[in-house]
Amino acid sequence: MQTELSRKLGVEHAVFGFTPFPAVAAAISRAGGFGVLGAVRYTAPDDLKRDLDWLDAHAGGRPYGLDVVMPAKKVEGVTEADVEAMIPEGHRQFVREILAKYGVPELAEGEASGWRITGWMEQVARTQLDVALDYPIKLLANALGSPPADVVARAHDRGVLVAALAGSARHARKHQEAGIDIVVAQGYEAGGHTGEIATMVLTPEIVDAVDPLPVLAAGGIGSGQQVAAALALGAQGVWLGSVWLTTTEADLHSPALTRKLLAAGSGDTVRSRALTGKPARQLRTEWTDAWDDPAGPGTLPMPLQGLLVAEAVSRIQRYEVQPLLGTPVGQIVGRMSSERSVQAVFDDLTRGFEEAVDRINRIAGRSGQS
């Protein structure tokens, strides 16, 4: 599963694995892929440094990267407290009512909320970048469009490639104009923030739109056959996220959530604004249903929604409140039916890829004889 891009980055397989877990990122790199650590949850630089130290020590000398959430346009002087003050009391009351309805306990005294979507704020993302550039990262990916021009220049000065996610050919062309090196074509099936166009349609559209930039296909991919299909569509690799959530190296801190993921079918996800204020694919739960109900107050725009629900999500996860318990995940969840090691996932990917290529070669051979 090698391409020009994978050879350029020095990896055996053109499989880029996004994950919030350092152990998973390291295992992806060791297995011959390219591990990408998600930084959005790191609000303290020392925490990111600690985990990058661990990742660097356990990646087996293989390349890895970092994924940040950084807006292209700078907003001066806005603090988290300023944003918190914009949240209407009616929405806070709605959260309290949902938690009370399902009997969700309070966090223990002194226990801080462990889930804060503040990594979107530029000052936080820039501190993440300051830390990361002290490490031998080979790729900086941005999940919120093209990063600011000075960030792109700074990465390039360090020899770091820059990738950005796109949900349309128009977005992809903007990335190309901004000097981005790799475009991740993220289809509708993907977990987390995603657009309206399916991966099968989106990938060749973006490949044609930004040629000769390399494109990674993302969204609903979790088998070697799909990797082969992505390369056939013109992609130079795949970007996988959801499939790692049920690996043995993942640290969800919730056996109940792992069980829900393993039991879910591909139709058990929904694109909802309940988590962050932007449409994000996640497990459908009574939490998402409550926020998507027209009788409710509706979600707030990003980043207000993420700050509003941060403590509630922490409480739901901490106490594993089954009806409300969920996580961002793509439609590929229907294939995630057992816990496997990252290496076992790669073994399945390579085996399925070889089978798909052999199948196409046989078809091409028969066509050539007719």
Per the document, the length of the chain is 370
pLDDT value, residue 158: 96
Residue 111 has pLDDT above 80, yes or no: no
Tokens of 199: 């991966």
Residue 27 has pLDDT above 90, yes or no: yes
> For the chain, where are the alpha helices, taking DSSP H only?
4-9, 22-30, 45-58, 80-84, 89-101, 122-132, 149-157, 169-177, 199-210, 224-232, 255-263, 286-292, 304-318, 342-369
Q: Which of 292-301, 337-346, 357-366 has the lowest mean pLDDT?
A: 357-366
Task: Give residues with Cβ within 8 angstroms of 220, minimum separation 6.
Answer: 187, 189, 190, 198, 199, 226, 330, 331, 332
Query: pLDDT tens digits, residue range 256-281?
Result: 999 999 999 999 999 999 998 989 99
Give the rounded percent of residues in the chain with a pLDDT score beyond 70: 93
Query: pLDDT tens digits, residue range 135-185?
Result: 999 999 998 788 889 999 999 999 999 999 999 999 999 999 999 999 999
pLDDT value, residue 304: 87
Segment 42-55 shows an average pLDDT of 93
If you write DSSP's letter for every residue of 207-221 in order, what string do you get?
HHHHTTS-EEEESS-
- pLDDT band per the 50, 70, 90 thresholds, residue 121: low
pLDDT value, residue 264: 97
Distance between CA atoms of residues 242 and 182, nearest Å: 20
Tokens of 249: 């190296």
Query: pLDDT tens digits, residue range 67-96?
Result: 988 765 555 556 667 778 899 999 999 999
Residue 368 has pLDDT above 50, yes or no: no
Sign of CA dihedral 333, 357, 59, 69: negative
| Phi, psi dihedral angles at 175 (to 5 degrees) | -65, -45
Segment 331-354 shows an average pLDDT of 97
pLDDT value, residue 370: 38
pLDDT value, residue 109: 82
Distance between CA atoms of residues 1 and 353, nearest Å: 8
* Full-model pTM: 0.92
- pLDDT band per the 50, 70, 90 thresholds, residue 126: confident
| CA 233 to each of CA 199, 215, 229, 244, 255: distance values in angstroms, whole numbers, following the listed order | 10, 10, 6, 24, 37
If you write DSSP's letter for every residue of 90-131 in order, what string do you get?
HHHHHHHHHHHHTTPPPPPTTPPPS----TTSHHHHHHHHHH
Tokens of 248: 């043995």
Tokens of 266: 């591909």
Task: Give residues with Cβ within 8 angstroms of 157, minimum separation 6.
Answer: none
Q: What is the mean pLDDT of the chain?
A: 92
Neighbour count for residue 126 (Cβ, 10 Å): 18
Segment 128-138 shows an average pLDDT of 94
pLDDT value, residue 119: 47
Angle at 196 between CA 151 and CA 24, to 5 degrees: 55
- pLDDT band per the 50, 70, 90 thresholds, residue 44: confident
Closest CA to 243 of 145, 348, 162: 348
| Phi, psi dihedral angles at 37 (to 5 degrees) | -85, 125
Give the rounded percent of residues in the chain with a pLDDT score beyond 90: 79
Residue 115 has pLDDT above 60, yes or no: no
